[in-house]
Amino acid sequence: GALNVYVKVNGGPQGNPVWNVSGVVTEGWVKAELAISTFWPHFYQVIFESVSLKGHPGYIAVDEVRVLAHPCRKAPHFLRLQNVEVNVGQNATFQCIAGGKWSQHDKLWLQVRM
């Protein structure tokens, strides 16, 4: 089975999981820390989804969910690419057009303006 965590922003669509784990955990807890932007949208809904295999019982426990009012140092914040919000471990596809003359030793650097 799997555990998926979603974040809905301002009542918008559920979208893709911002965090997930799958498989069997026999000992200990799987710990996660997620950063949610506090600069814009003001309403968040965190959704925990448990997925079990057909015909197999699924057991899940969620403990110590905390909402903290300070920056997370270990978890990167969401990055918004056009209309897609991306978090660590997720992929985003975008198109970049650069003008100029290419040289074999040149590197292309991308910078996001916030």
Q: Token pair for residue 111?
A: 């910078």
Report pLDDT for 38: 61
Provide the pLDDT confidence category of residue 48 given band limits of 50, 70 and 90: very high
CB 18 within 8 A of CB 5: yes
Question: Is the pLDDT score of 114 beyond 50?
Answer: no
- For residue 37, the SS3 value is coil
Domain count, the chain: 1
Question: Is the pLDDT score of 66 beyond 80?
Answer: yes
- When mean pLDDT is compared over 3-7, 13-17, 24-28, the highest value belongs to 3-7
Average pLDDT over residues 19-33: 79
Domain span including residue 14 = 1-114
Closest CA to 46 of 5, 11, 80: 5
Q: Write b or e for each residue in 66-79: b if 16 or more Cβ atoms lie within 10 A of its Cβ, otherwise e.
A: eeeeeeeeeeeebe
Question: Is the pLDDT score of 105 beyond 50?
Answer: yes
